[in-house]
Structure 1
Amino acid sequence: MAVNIYHNLLIKASPKQVFDAVTKPEHLNNWWSLKSSGRPELGAEYNLNFTDDFNWYCKVSDVQKNTSIYFKMTKSDKDWEGTTFGFDLEPKDNATWLKFSHENWKMPNDNFKHSSFCWAMLLNGLKNYVEKGKIVPFQDRN
């Protein structure tokens, strides 16, 4: 039985601005990871470094420029291993409707529940970053 995380939010910015914020390492490091690398190209590998113990990798499994991107985890903790997370972006009234998913979790255990909460907090951080330029220092992110 696979379980999934879904969050939707409106970001007052263009789809291109939101796409850049969820795909370019220099932006990812301002709202999510400590250090990251990668390119928004099909099959490209991303390194998502949070700490020495949380130095994870994923591959772009689907990408449509300024519209959507999906990442399949290839090296992570056992609960994230094999999961896919992604962002679908739809223009809406001079803003972007972001539809986030993190799918194929093996079970709704404590890590799943904590990750769902963290994604909600991080996506709010993404919204504040894109709309207001607000950067929360890495050590202060949940």
Structure 2
Amino acid sequence: MGYSIFHDFVVKDSLPNVYNAISQPDHLVNWWPLRCTGKLKVGETYNFNFTDEYNWFATVKSCELNDHIHFKMTKSDPDWDPTSFGFDLEEKDNGVLVKFWHKDWPECNAHYKHSSFCWALLLKGLKDYLEKGLIIPFEERS
């Protein structure tokens, strides 16, 4: 049994805007990787490029428009390779509830703990991107 990261938060924006921000490469680069490519379709590969040294890949395991997208890491870091992560969305009166998860970490090591912290910061960046139009320069993202 692996370790998991969970973060739930509300974004005050429309469901389609939130879904685009978590699934479309041209939006993902505004809050997570430096460069990104991929197609929103089960079995397709996304490339999350952070630097030449951190040029990672994941496969879309499941997706449904304005509902969820789930990825399985395929080529990344030894700690990340066994993991899957995803976003499940739920429309609420006050916005969209984003239920983020990152599961199957092999160890509760320093990398796992650091990644949990980084996800929290990055997801705050996602929220600020959608609610305020704020794009944190890549070099300033944790």
Normalising by structure 1, what TM-score? Answer: 0.98
Q: Pairwise mapping of residues 27-42 of structure 1 onto structure 2 (< 5 A)?
A: 27-42=27-42
Contact kept, 8 Å, 2:57 with 2:74, in 1: the verdict is yes
In the alignment, the residues of structure 2 paired with residue 34 and residue 136 of structure 1 have an alpha-carbon distance, to the nearest angstrom, of 11
What is the deviation of 1:15?
A: 1.5
- Aligned twin of 1:108: 108
Contact kept, 8 Å, 1:14 with 1:94, in 2: the verdict is no
Normalising by structure 2, what TM-score? Answer: 0.98
Gaps of 5+ in 1: none
Q: Could you tell me the percent identity over the aligned residues?
A: 51
What is the deviation of 1:25?
A: 0.7
- Aligned twin of 2:74: 74
- Aligned twin of 1:131: 131
Opposite residue 46 of structure 2, the aligned amino acid is Y
In the alignment, the residues of structure 1 paired with residue 75 and residue 120 of structure 2 have an alpha-carbon distance, to the nearest angstrom, of 23
Opposite residue 31 of structure 1, the aligned amino acid is W
RMSD of the TM alignment (CA)? 0.7
What is the deviation of 1:94?
A: 4.4
Contact kept, 8 Å, 2:55 with 2:76, in 1: the verdict is yes
What is the deviation of 1:76?
A: 0.2
Contact kept, 8 Å, 1:82 with 1:104, in 2: the verdict is yes
In the alignment, the residues of structure 2 paired with residue 94 and residue 5 of structure 1 have an alpha-carbon distance, to the nearest angstrom, of 24
- SS of the aligned residue for 1:10 comes to strand
Deviations 1:74-132 (A, max 9, x none): 00000000200000000001410000000000011000000000000000000000111
- SS of the aligned residue for 2:80 comes to coil
- SS of the aligned residue for 2:82 comes to coil
Deviations 1:4-29 (A, max 9, x none): 00000000011111110011111110
Contact kept, 8 Å, 1:56 with 1:76, in 2: the verdict is yes
